[in-house]
């Protein structure tokens, strides 16, 4: 689904960017500006921000569920990474 018509950003683009940013820094609190920068885009009219924020939150929750990362937890100390 197209989220930002100005930059042609899709919901899949947002999900991919969130996963990449959270892998780099699991504790990061992400906002649309961070995600758009990761995509090489620059917010223009910002009408997409409410939907982008919702999708970012959903992507973060999905990332946490898949990876087991929790905010504030060092992924290197996860049991599967200590073996």
Rounded to 5 degrees, φ, ψ at 69 are -70, 140
**Distance separating alpha carbons of residues 25 and 4, to the nearest angstrom:** 25
Q: At 13, phi and psi to the nearest 5?
A: -60, -45
- Spatial contact of 52 and 32, defined as CB atoms under 8 Å apart: yes
Tens digits of pLDDT across the chain (83 residues): 999 999 999 999 999 999 999 999 999 999 999 999 999 999 999 999 999 999 999 999 999 998 876 555 555 555 454 44
Instruction: Kindly write down the DSSP assignment for every residue of 50-74, as one continuous string.
Output: HHHHHHHHHHHHHHHHHH---TT--
What residue segments make up the domains of the chain, in order of their start?
2-81
């Amino acid at each position: 689904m197209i989220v930002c018509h100005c930059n042609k950003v899709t919901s899949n683009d947002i999900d991919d960017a969130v996963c990449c940013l959270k892998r780099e820094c699991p504790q990061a609190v992400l906002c649309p500006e961070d995600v758009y920068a990761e995509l090489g885009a620059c917010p223009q009219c910002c009408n997409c921000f409410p939907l982008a924020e919702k999708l970012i939150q959903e992507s973060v929750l999905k990332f946490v569920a898949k990876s087991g990362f929790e905010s504030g937890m060092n992924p290197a100390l996860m049991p599967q990474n200590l073996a």
